[in-house]
Amino acid sequence: MTRKKKLQAAKNYALYYGFGREQDLAQFDLAIVEPLGQSQAAIKCMQEKGTLVCAYLSVMELSFAADEMQLLTEEDLLKGPGGPLKNEQYGNWLVDLRSKKWQRMLGQKAENLFTAGYDGLFLDTLADVEYVPVSADCRTELIFAAAALMGDLKKDYPGHLLIQNNGMERLCLMTAKLIDALCWENPPLERPESAAWSKEVIKRLKRLRDEEKLSILLLMQQQQEAKVSKRRWKACEAAQRYGFLFYEAPPEYTAGVNMLGNIKSP
């Protein structure tokens, strides 16, 4: 069975950015992991149990301490009206997807991960193109650059999986034919002010699933707040109603593997 067919047949998944825990992760059909936290022996252990193992890869954001930052110049960073852009929440710099140097570096990172044995990539921060403070022309160029990246990866590694995280507006429409799964992280389904937008996103996800044979993942991070039960219930309800896969991850995606993360809503 091809990786694509195994993904389409998957009944559950887990996402974990900590170290090890391969025995727990091997109990899921799909495991999305941080490569720095897994050895080749751990990858093999999960795969021998029938688990698809995909590696996290940040496409547009880098921490200042990342090794890649030493190889980039200011010309490779994405700029807004006030200079290079930064994700203040995490302290990450945004890299310009139009940079030829960064495109080559991303291609090399992908090759290294596939050589290490991963079944696919979980492409994160790609959705930054939809909301970073840049001009309309720049945004369009970034979206086309993101789609071109996906096209190159699919062409070079046709037997491997590409999972896109977020990008539910224009980006998913550009990449739908190039990816294997689309993940909606922390969907605001419980928020009345987001109801109309969420409804349109779900409609779009259903269409892309049916027309492009995409697997749809809903991902939630556990939080300590009053609305967490409603948030979880709404996400579970949507997953069950539309046939999406749902996972509720422990805080920061590093606090462990939630063995009950796929249970049905109460």
pTM above 0.75, yes or no: yes
Sign of the CA dihedral 222, 227, 231, 237?
A: positive
Domain edges within the chain:
3-253
Q: Is 94 a residue whose pLDDT tops 90?
A: yes
* End-to-end C-alpha distance for the chain, whole angstroms: 34
Confidence at residue 222, expressed as pLDDT on a 0 to 100 scale: 84
Q: What is the pLDDT of residues 175-227, one digit of tens each?
A: 999 999 999 999 998 889 989 999 999 999 999 999 999 999 999 998 765 55
Q: What is the pLDDT of residues 37-93, one digit of tens each?
A: 999 999 999 999 999 999 999 999 999 888 899 999 999 999 988 889 999 888 899
Phi, psi of 203 (to 5 degrees): -60, -40
Q: Is 123 a residue whose pLDDT tops 60?
A: yes
* Cα–Cα distance measured from residue 97 to residue 106, given in angstroms and rounded to the nearest whole number: 10
* Cα–Cα distance measured from residue 30 to residue 22, given in angstroms and rounded to the nearest whole number: 12
The mean pLDDT of the chain is 93
Confidence at residue 227, expressed as pLDDT on a 0 to 100 scale: 54
Q: How many CA atoms lie within 13 A of 209 on its CB side?
A: 18
User: DSSP 3-state assignment of 194?
Assistant: helix
Q: Position of tokens 């995280």? A: 165
Confidence at residue 266, expressed as pLDDT on a 0 to 100 scale: 36
Which amino acid is residue 228, in one-letter code? V
Q: How many CA atoms lie within 13 A of 250 on its CB side?
A: 10
Confidence at residue 215, expressed as pLDDT on a 0 to 100 scale: 97
Could you name the CATH architecture of 3-253? Alpha-Beta Barrel (3.20)
| Pick from 5, 66, 1, 14: nearest CA to 183 | 14
